[in-house]
Amino acid sequence: MNLFLIVSLFSFNPAGMGLADALQPSGLNGLCINPAGLTETAEFSVRFPSLITPMGTYPAYNSAFSISEIDRYIYSGDYLAEEDKNRILSRIGSGWEIDAEAMTHAEIAYRNFGFGIYGLVGERAYLPRDLLELALNGNELGRRYSVEDLESEICALLKMTLAYGRDFRWRNIPLSVGLGLHYYRGLVEARVLRSEGFLETDTTEMQVSATADLLTSNGGNGFGIDLGLILPEMPYNLIISLSITDISPGISWNRNTRIYHLELYGDSINLARLLGQEDVLDTDTSWEEERKSYRTHLPTTLRLTLSRKLNGELSSTFLYRQGFRETIWSTTKPYFAVGLEYRPVEEVPLKWGIGLGGREGIVLATGYGLRLGPFSMDFAYQAYRGLFKSSRGGMFALDFGLNLP
């Protein structure tokens, strides 16, 4: 089941929220983005376990290629002509960034209280140009290939959220406020701390050197909070929502924390050594050491949305989103989005959205919902810098819920 609609995975935005991370965070959606939205929940609501994932085996986002080009260059297995290799290298520039994300979640709310469980995994890698050029064209004589900028990180987490929202009147102005409390359980974290290396070949021999440090842990803990405010009766029929989510010092990784070291070095490697008469490498060692606990940041994010009902069937929303930390799930580049929701009938909301900024650049999204009595279903699709096969990645999501008045 491949389904989604999320811009930054740790936002935990379900498909029912709408497009491009932009629609009003009411009801159960308050658990994800603004706990003040819980004041609008039904007497009892539940969202069954849902899956958010990239499109099949494709990355959630990559910096260079469309999905159709990934099919052609990677999955087809066809021989790459010289013009294909040149096109690939011209696209990647100084390097190729790849992101992969997936999440599952389940939520429940009773009156103004909500509880949610979220599980997610994220991966990010950056492959320097020299490494890709070496793989495509082989080693050119007299040239030094460097891999000093290689980056890679993977993380898997569980997040449990307890939130509460309440209505107030301040100086005769109605408003809703909310508070969310989080417990984070780190499952796996691994990252490349340092990578240095080169390969150089001349007419008779070659030199190779590589050193790398890999930090890993399989357990950690952390706590955080969300703060939210909604002004539901502003001039011009505006609804203003403001929230800061995942305010936290981060996750302290403290279980089986280790650093793995690797060193390879070979000087004057020639044909005789390659044929086995001598050791190929002068140095080939690896070792590991324990490390005390370390901390990784969580994606603290501010969101401001302005929502307005245009008529009985059509409503619009504007979003400004600002991350405060560069993490595997977030960026400090600002993000803006607009979304429209149209209800030809009350039971079938149709949604569209477009976003600009963040890591992804241009974001296009669409989705729909279905309401059958107390049961609800929401589907959404979001793509980056294109649609379907022309996009540079995308996500799908599907939610099923139950709302009892």
Whole-number pLDDT of residue 20? 42
For the cut 90, the answer to whether the pLDDT of residue 252 exceeds it is: yes
Q: What's residue 17's pLDDT?
A: 39
pLDDT at 25: 61
Q: Which of 380, 401, 399 is nearest to 55 (CA)?
A: 380
pLDDT band at 268 (very low <50, low <70, confident <90, very high): low
Higher pLDDT, 257 or 387: 257
Which band of pLDDT confidence, cut at 50, 70 and 90, is reported for residue 273?
A: low
Q: What is the pLDDT of residues 344-376, one digit of tens each?
A: 888 888 888 888 888 878 888 888 888 888 888
Is residue 3 domain-resident?
Answer: no
Does some domain include residue 325?
yes
Residue 221 confidence (pLDDT) above 60: yes
Q: Is residue 1 part of a domain?
A: no
| Cα 92 from Cα 95, distance rounded (Å) | 5
- Is residue 1 scored above 50 in pLDDT? no
The mean pLDDT of the chain is 80
Instruction: Give residue 260's identity as a one-letter amino acid code.
Output: Y
What pLDDT score does 5 carry? Answer: 29
Q: Beta 251-253 vs 314-323: how paired, if at all?
A: unpaired
| Lowest model confidence (mean pLDDT) among 8-17, 212-221, 276-285 | 8-17
Q: How many CA atoms does the CB half-sphere of 347 hold within 13 Å?
A: 6
Q: Quick one: average pLDDT of 78-82? A: 80
Phi, psi at residue 187, to the nearest 5°?
Answer: -100, -55
Query: What pLDDT score does 404 carry?
Result: 77
139 Cβ contact partners less than 8 Å away, ≥ 6 residues apart? 145, 199, 201, 206
pLDDT of residue 217: 93
Share of the chain above pLDDT 70, in %: 87
State the average pLDDT over residues 219-229.
Answer: 94
d(CA 143, CA 167): 67
What percentage of the chain reaches a pLDDT higher than 90?
Answer: 17
The answer on pLDDT for 226 being more than 90 is yes
CB 17 within 8 A of CB 26: no
pLDDT, mean of residues 254-281: 72
Tokens representing 6 are: 């999320």
Whole-model pTM?
Answer: 0.83
The pLDDT of 65-72, averaged and rounded, is 81
Lowest mean pLDDT among 6-20, 204-218, 236-250, 333-347: 6-20
- Whichever domain contains 271, its CATH number is 2.40.160
243 has pLDDT over 90: yes
Q: What is the pLDDT of residues 97-110, one digit of tens each?
A: 888 888 888 888 88
Per residue in 309-325, pLDDT (tens digit) is: 888 788 888 889 999 98
Q: For 110-162, how does the pLDDT look when each residue is reduced to its tens digit (9 = 90+)?
A: 888 989 999 888 888 888 888 887 777 777 777 877 878 788 899 999 999 99
Residue 19 is predicted with a pLDDT of 42
pLDDT value at residue 185: 94
The residue segments making up the domain with residue 271 are 9-404
Tokens of 283: 């140095």
Neighbours of 218 (CB within 10 A): 15
Q: What is the predicted pLDDT for the residue at 157?
A: 92
213 touches 193 (CB < 8 A): yes
Residue 393 lies in a domain: yes
Average pLDDT of 64-75?
80
Number of domains in the chain: 1
Residue 228, pLDDT score: 92
At 14-49, the pLDDT tens digits run 343 334 444 556 667 777 788 888 887 667 888 777
Q: Which two tokens stand for residue 371?
A: 């309401």
Is residue 2, in this structure, part of any structural domain at all? no
Residue 297 domain-assigned?
Answer: yes
Rounded mean pLDDT, 370-388: 82
- The answer to whether residue 216 scores a pLDDT higher than 80 is yes
